[in-house]
Each structure stands twice: as C-alpha cells, then as structure tokens.
Structure 1
C-alpha cells in the first residue's frame, strides 16, 4: 500500500505525496529498478600525489555515499567516514598519510575540514584548522608541508594557509567569489581562481608564493572568457600549469609557466571541448574530449604536437588519470551499461576491467539515440530513450501510438545530459515512459556562446529550446502531447516550475526537485557563491535589476499553472532554500492548483540510497496517477 512520507514535512500544511511500496507488480521488474540504485558504485580512485599506491574514492557500498581508503598494494579497502547523509568531498595528503574530508551539517554544505590517518575507520577524525571559522568550501590543496584551504560565507571568500603545521594565516580575502585551484609539486606556489573583475562565471588566475604571498604571475581572459587551473606539472621544479581556456569559443588547453608568465596554447584538432592531465614525465597529456554527449580519450605529445587515439568504448568517461607506469585508469559508462572502472595498459590494443565492485554491477538499461532539432538559437541536441520493445512489430500498443513522455531537464545550468548510465532514466523507461533529455542553451559541451546564451532571458531561453524539441517530437509521433511530464532537479527543477507557468498547455504534470521557485526570496537565503553567480547571470542583484529576477521567477507565473505539481525539497538546502519553496507552495494552494510535496532532512539532494529510491518511486507514482496510467 502507498504510504505518505513522515518526517520533515509532517509539520507543514501542504499535502504530502504518496510513496508506493512498489512500482511494479512483476517481482523481477521491481527488483531490477531498485538494484540499479542499490548496486555498489565506485568513483575513480584519487591517488596521493607522492604515494600513488594509496588512494581514496567514493562508494555507496554501505547504503550511503561515503569515502573509502584503498591500499592498492595490498588490495585493502577501508570505509573511512560514516555520517547520516553521507560524505563525498575528500582528498589525501601528498604523502598519503592522511585523509582530509569536508564535514557539514545534514547536507547544508557549511562546515570545516576534518582529517584522519589513512586506512582508519569512522570516528578517528579531528579538525584540520580548529581556529578557522567554518564556511562553504572554496577548495583545498594539501602538500607534505603546506595546507591551503578556501572558505566562503556572507562576507565573501577567505583563503587560509598553514605551513609545516603552524597556525593558519589568512593569505587572501575578497568580497567576490574565489577558490584554491592547485599547488605546485615543490609546494612553493599556489594558484588562486578569482572574480575580482565582478563576474564569477569567468574566473581569472593568480599565482602566489607560498612563503610570502607575493604575486608571481597573473592570467586574465575577461571579459566574457574564463580560465581554470587544472594542475601543475608533476615534475618538481617544472612550474608549468595546465590551464583550461575558451579563447576560441570552446574549452581548450594552454600551458602557463608561472615562473615567467609565458603561455602556450595547445592546438589540439578535435571538434568538441577538451580537458586533460599530465603524464608522469610531463612530456605528454592525457586528453579527454567531449562532443554531443560522448567522450573519447587521446594522448597528446607536447614536443611533436601529435595526437594518438586511445581505445575506449563509445559512451562517457567521467574521470581519467595516468598512473606512474603510464597506464590510464578511468571510469566509463553508457546509457546501457553501468559505471565501470577500466584500465588501459601502455601499448595495449584494448582496455580491461580495473576493479569490480562487491556484489556485482547494476542491471543494464536502454540505449539513447541522438536528435538534432532546429531551434531559435541554432541546432538543439537531445538524447531520446525508449522503453524496451518500443516499436517492435509484435508490440502493437507501442507501435501504433505515441507513448507518455517525461522531459527530464538537467541541472547546472552549466552541465549537460550525456550517453551515460542513469538509474533514474532507467526507472522511467521501465515504467513505460519515453525519456527526453534536452541540452538546451546553457548546456556545456556545445561551445561558449551556447552556454552563455541563457543570460539573454534566464529560464525563458532554455524553455524555448525545450518547446522546439517538444513540437518536433509531437509532429513526428514520438510523444503523446496529452501525456507529457516536465521534470528536473536543481536548475532543471527551476525550469520545470517556470515551464509549467509560461507553457501551461504543453505539460500534463510537473515534477520539480530542489528548485528555485521564488527567485527574489531564493537570492536572500542562498549561499553567497550562488548569489555571486546570480549577480553575474542577471547583470546585478535583485535591488539593481529587480525586473529581470521577477521575469525569471516561477512565482511570477504561478497563477497560470494548471497541471498538477510535485515539489521535492531538502530542509537544509543552501542552494535552493526551503523558505522560497514554501512561498511557492502557499501560492499553489491559494490558486487551487493540484499539488503535493516531498520533503527530506538533507541538503541539495541526498546521498542515502534508500532515500533516493523513495524519491524516484514518489515521482513515477505521481506521474502515473496524474496521467491515469496503469500501476497508479
């Protein structure tokens, strides 16, 4: 029997969404969709800089996403952290002796760094910088003698530096958004990413001496172009930094010698966006190339400028690194195949499995196909996934009429949907929905102009692209216009609520997870780095450009919403705070629009597997009930 959610939302007056005990009558289908979430996942292991046989990774092996230490030489894996809502931000000291991890309160992202011996279990941590005020993390670099830690709060950004275990000193403070990017191998230089020019979307870089804080070099491509310091050369004394830039309208690479200030742009002839990392000798780069939702890997030889393709299956590489022996370790998945840790040995013609998670890998899902549609700002790329058996000759129901569809919009907005494994997408497919992922203007991977176009009219620009794809799929008979659900989390949740108000005739239901619902109130309550982002995006604060915020706020259009709405929200969310969601729910109630809420005691999402399963069950049950589909 369905159950209403207990806990955080019980004290609030709004109707609670039902969570069914199961989604499918068939036991095998019920087990499969749940296993896609509960099967053990592992991130790519992050090795210690100077002791690569020690590494840390994130896994959900105990039902929450926690940090694990891996002694590669002995094959020992140790769960290091255990918190009620999980732990995901951690790194090892350069010598591999110590694990550092960020400790917040129930997902509010505001806290301090903890440390504990490598290989130790939960409960063995202590504060790294006990005399430093907590804040939102703005980066951490830990050498053998140096700790550089960034924090942000309502007063802006501050960077603290501790040398040889001494008392930390404030080495940078500014009202704008900033962060610690990287530390040189000899620990004499660290690189600051800052937005002192006033636009946090386009960081500039500054190299500073560890000993006295003197400025060694500056690199600034503003206005309208950003930089990211990826990493220093791994060779001691080589003060070149691999930097990501967008000087030609897409993500590319350059080398910045901070000892001289000289830069060398790398002319790598690939059609999409690229990022990379050094090989151990710093004579070559590992290149990860992204184009239209898929990635390829290559080796770029700096001296000759030659590019060598590395064999990897079609799909998405979500992390890659080069080991001391030249082997490439990476994490790969596709829409069909769950995440796998793979290794490509030097000279090998094919890759191999690096490490299998305990308990086996998750069940497979369905592939995605590409769709390009002409839109108001140019060609729009989307990924379409169809339920198993769709269009088969023997499947008369699926062959003769379009299916119910969920347009699931990604967050970010500086992100993109890709040909990668997604347990949520798979659950909707199992439930009989076509799933459409639109890489609207604002998405990454399609060039800087596409990414930045949303500033023309925030929210409305993205939804114009969604409308163009929706129109195409209705005309071609892929989707049923009377059974279309708009859904998404974070920025996708914001677009969902805005779309229900400005495109009410398109959508039969809306599901907004951790959304911006009242932009003016959200700005008042959100974490300072996001206020800085909003000021850059809108061209000022709500006091300076109030009409822009009102125009993009879902609350402005709430009286035009006719489709039933489900809103999922975290009580401790610093990005899309709860107060502005309550304001929107109050407005729905006053207008008489059918709606329901799902509240949980965490932040901008939960790292607890069973909690995520409950949320997806709630979403699909809500859509089925609203559309009158079987299983409701």
Structure 2
C-alpha cells in the first residue's frame, strides 16, 4: 500500500492543495498504478435545508467509502468503514443524518442504516424492513421515508416509514419499479414502474403517502409503444406540485414539466441534438440542463418561459454529474480521457481537492465513425504517445448494455496504453446517448447485434493500419464481459485473446440466479423467459459456443455477484476445462466488481500479465522511470 493511501488527512479540515513533499515510494510506482491509487472524490451531494452539509465518496483510505463534509468549518469525517467499501448514501433534508446501504460483501442485498452527521453509532434506519435489493429512497422533511425494495419472493414493494412508526406497504408488483421522488411538503410520491412488462421503458404514477393514486403518465400505452419516462424531481419549493420528467417522445431523452395535480404537461424548448436531462435550481426558478451528445457532455441553464437555454461554460470532455447551489453557482465533476477527474465550480474554484498525490494524465481520444449493419457506429480510439501502428489493440467493451463510453478519464484503458496497446471503445447498438432507436435496437438477437457493430469497427481498425490483426484483444466487464465470451465463440478467428470480468457466461443459469430486476430486463430484451423463448436464450448464450473458442481466455468473477452470479460462470469454465482450452480464472470475495483499490489493481495486473504472456510481449511493466 502506498503512502498516499495511508494519508489520514481525508479526516481533517479541508485545505488547499498547497505544495506537496516529494514521495519516493509514489514515484517508484508505475504510472498505471498511480492512476488507481491516486485519491479521488465524487461530486458532493448537499442537504436541501442545510446546504453547508455535504456527503461524498472517496477512496482516500484505499477503499471507496462515504464521507461527510461541513463546508462552514471545513471538517471532513469518514462515515463508513467496511472491508468491501460503501458508495450508496444520502443526506436527510436537514443534514442531520446520513442514510447508507449496508449489504454483505458486495452482494447488494441489505438494509438502510442511519448515522448522525456529526458521528455516532449506526442504527437501522427502517426497523421492521428485512434485507432486500434497493429500489429507490426518498426522505421527507418530517423524517418520513419512502423506501423501495426488491426481492425474489415479492417482486417490488414500496413502504412508507414515519418516525416512531412501523413500515406501511403502499405498493407491490412482480415487475420492476422504484421510488422516484417525494414532494417538498411530503404529500406526493412519484413512482417509476414497468407493470406493462417492458423493463426498458417505465411509466409514472404519482400517489399519496397512503398509496392512493393522484395521476398516471404512461407513454408506453400499456406496453404497445416503446416510449419511456423517468422521474427527474419535484420542484423544491413548498406547495409546488410540478414534477420534472424525462420523456422520449421525439426519439431522444428530453425534459418536460408535468403537474399531476393540475393535470398539465409543459414542453420545454431545449433544442439540443443529443440526450437531455435536467434538475431544478434550488429555488425552482430555472433548470440545470445536462446535454450528452456523441460521447461528450455539457451544461446549460434554462428558465421556464425563455426561448431557449443559455450555455454554462465547462471544458471539453465529460461532465459526470452536476448540481446547482443556492447561490446560483454550479458544481460539477469533470474529466476527459486525458485529464483525471476534478470537482469544479462555475465560480472558477476547485470545490473539493482530495489529499495525496495526483493521478498522471493519459492520452486523448479521437473519434472514429464506422458504417455498420445498423447505421454509423461511434468508437473512441486512444493510442500510445510513442510508436506507430499497427498496434496490439484492446477492444474494451462497455457494460450496461444501456450505457455508453465517453471522453472521460478511465484508469483501465490508460493502463493498456502505458503498455503499448491501442484501445478502442465501441458504442454499439444498445448504447445510450445516440437516440432511442439506437438504444432500443437491442432486442431478441441480444449480444449478436452488438458484436456486429464491434466487428465493423474491428475491420476498420485493421484496414486503417491502427490495429495488428494478430494481436486483437476482446475485453470488458459485466455486459462487456458477456460480449467478450460471446464474441470469442461466435467470431473465433477474429480475436487473439479474451478478458472477461464478471460476465454473463451461461445465459439460462444466469437468468435463474440473478436479482429480480435483471430478470425483468432479460425478459424485455429476449421477449420472454428461457422456458418461453429457449431458442433466443440459446442463440445469445456464450455457453452455446464455448467449444468453438480458440483464443486463450481470462475470466474474473465475484463470488457474491447478484448480477452475473458465480454458478453460471463456473458452468462455462467447466466446459473450457473439459476440452483443455487455454484459460485462467480469478475468483474474488466481492460482488459485481470491487471497491477496494488494491483488489482492483490486482485484477488489472492479472489481466495485463495474461495478455502480455500470451501475445509474446513479456511481463507487466515495472516502476515508472
């Protein structure tokens, strides 16, 4: 463990960065390790009625945990301290308490705990509610909490918990649902649900705390249309019943204002080409608009009634989160592929500077647009600073699948670049950020569709001279790990090596073992259960093609993973072993990934070592010169 990880200044009053003392131990570390070890902080959340009280996540101790920050005094305090880390937490509106989710070793199944902001003993936040997967949380000013829960036995249930009283169930359904928001006065609860059976496109319902319905908004028309809605938040003003909602009526995500009490819907003239999200300014006088387009993002301010939004200046790259403060300033978490993340403010200040050494920069990305079978595919390409192609090339495939790679800092791809590899990241069909049709194209031929787009970009990379066709690595985690195993079996001549982290490997067994919300997603993607559409599950399962795999395979898996459970990974590994295929497996005691820095470094080192050995490039690079 480096000195930077042992730095305890994360618990002391915040100070400016100041000059740093030389740290020989840090300087001897390879640059790729420095990027993982360098302390980071998330965008601080703040209490609505006590804006000086904030909550953030940091890896300053070597494990990602929750921290409070009193902006008035500068004092920071570590809230959680668990072997496998903690990232899910929220402040009560008065800033008096921190609610945090307590699971077991990353299995995502647990209960909400509560701790005073100033410190003290943890206690169950909702006595009487047993462990579950979380399905949303909203906390009112009078201490009332609305808690969403998901279990295999009950589906989704939503409970109202008032101070001094036991939980009262107000909602139950087999399909996935969740808590969206609670109005400022606590009289309205916004829910997202998929009772129509389409887990990719939610409908909305606003209910009273007793569960009675106020209003419904369903753009799917009972599941006959693939149009989704999302809750962005109630207006943060007393007596204001307006709800900010995301919709897809024009083929992309856009905000509108819905008043479920008055029964009105107000379109907003935010004419931007990509997906648009928004949140209220604290006084509800304006909206902070987040615009994502072609793997970059930017911020705008929109005042209802104005002709259009006004740009909030941010550097080119990716804004991973933003919030408007009571003084009108905006704080945001920004990075680019080349520059590490930093929490900035429109005042020009760095909002929260973590202690210790800083992460080294990496290489910028360039865009590649490739014609694919379903339209133009966008890929992000990074190459080493020295040397010319063709390079050994890693196709680092993102998870989700409803996600997208962006021009944002990522330590994993940067590690490959340090070792002489080019890195290509493909926003295949199914990815977000390119319109509803692109995301929704991922149906029934699951996995095979994404691999068609990846193959088109692979052919371009080889033909353009970027990639060495004999040293192509297919890699990814979660859905990216799934596509890696599926690609090695369906495109066996295309790849020299495969690296799959926490993958779906045996789709049928994965379906039966995974958490309930993911079962609903799989039924949507494939059109039914394994018993109803067995041919689709078979066509989309890596296990179907395992005997065709020729390339060496490295697999890592968390033994407590509820998303890509370990049993289905073992089924795939057993098949590899039975035919003597070259493979290695690393199992670790956590869930769907790890929040422990040392563990993450170990996993990357194992992947690098496996690739370099089998591609004939030697060993993992030693300390930086």
TM-score tier after normalising by the smaller chain length? over 0.9
Residue aligning to 1:19: none
- Give the 3-state SS of the residue equivalent to 2:51 in structure 1: coil
C-alpha offsets along residues 140-194 of structure 1, whole Å, 9 cap, x if unaligned? 1111221000110112011110123321101111111011010101111111111
Structure 2 regions of 5+ residues with no counterpart? 1-24, 621-625
- Are 1:382 and 2:379 counterparts? yes
Contact 1:494 1:515 in 2 (8 A): yes
User: Which residue of structure 1 lines up, in the alignment, with residue 15 of structure 2?
Assistant: none
- The structural deviation recorded for 1:235 is 1.1
Deviation readout 1:203-262 (Å, 9 max, x if unpaired): 11111112x322111111113111111111111111111111111111101101121221
- Equivalent in the alignment of 1:239: 241
CA shift for structure 1 position 487: 0.1
Partner of 1:15: none
Worse-superposed segment, 26-35 or 493-502? 26-35
- Partner Cα separation in structure 1 for residue 122 and residue 440 of structure 2: 42
Contact persistence 1:411–1:490 (CA under 8 A): yes
**Residue 529 (structure 1) aligned to one of 505, 517, 525:** 517
Q: Does 1:352 align with 2:349?
A: yes
Aligned partners of 2:559 and 2:589 also within 8 Å: yes
Partner of 2:7: none
The residue number in structure 1 matching 2:227 is: 225
Q: Distance in 2 between matches of 1:420 and 1:139?
A: 27
Given that residues 402 and 478 in structure 1 are in contact (C-alpha distance below 8 angstroms), is that contact kept between their aligned partners in structure 2?
A: yes
Which residue of structure 2 lines up, in the alignment, with residue 437 of structure 1?
425
Mapped to 2, the partners of 1:29 and 1:360 lie a distance apart of 13
Shift of 1:322: 0.5
Equivalences, count: 590
**Contact persistence 1:80–1:119 (CA under 8 A):** no
Partner of 1:365: 362
1:171-570 aligned at under 5 Å gives the runs: 171-210=170-209, 212-222=210-220, 223-345=225-347, 351-389=348-386, 398-399=387-388, 401-570=389-558
Equivalent position SS for 1:35 = helix
Per-residue CA deviation, residues 416-466 of structure 1 (Å, 9 max, x unaligned), is 000000011110100110000000001000001101111141000000000
Q: TM-score, normalised by structure 1?
A: 0.92
Q: Does residue 81 of structure 1 match 2:69? A: no
RMSD: 1.3
Instruction: Please list, as runs of the form range in 1=range in 2, the aligned pairs for 1:28-43 lying within 5 A after superposition.
Output: 30-43=29-42
Deviation for aligned residue 1:305? 2.9
Question: For 2:164 and 2:315, how far apart are their aligned partners in 1?
Answer: 45
**Normalising by structure 2, what TM-score?**
0.93
CA contact (8 A) 1:381 1:438 kept: yes
Tell me the residue number matched to 2:20.
none
Aligned to 1:129: 126
Q: CA deviation at 1:31?
A: 3.1
Q: CA deviation at 1:537?
A: 0.9
Residues 608-632 of structure 1 show CA distances to partners (whole Å, capped at 9, x for unaligned) of 0000000000001111011011336
Taking the aligned partners of 1:27 and 1:480, their CA distance within structure 2 comes to: 34
Distance of 1:549 and 1:163 partners within structure 2: 44
Distance in 1 between residues matched to 2:471 and 2:42, nearest whole Å: 37
Aligned counterpart for 2:571 among listed residues 583, 593, 614: 583
How far 1:29 moved relative to its partner?
7.5
Q: Does the 8 Å contact 2:395/2:473 carry over to 1?
A: yes
User: Helix, strand or coil for the counterpart of 1:569?
Assistant: strand
Q: CA deviation at 1:353?
A: 1.6
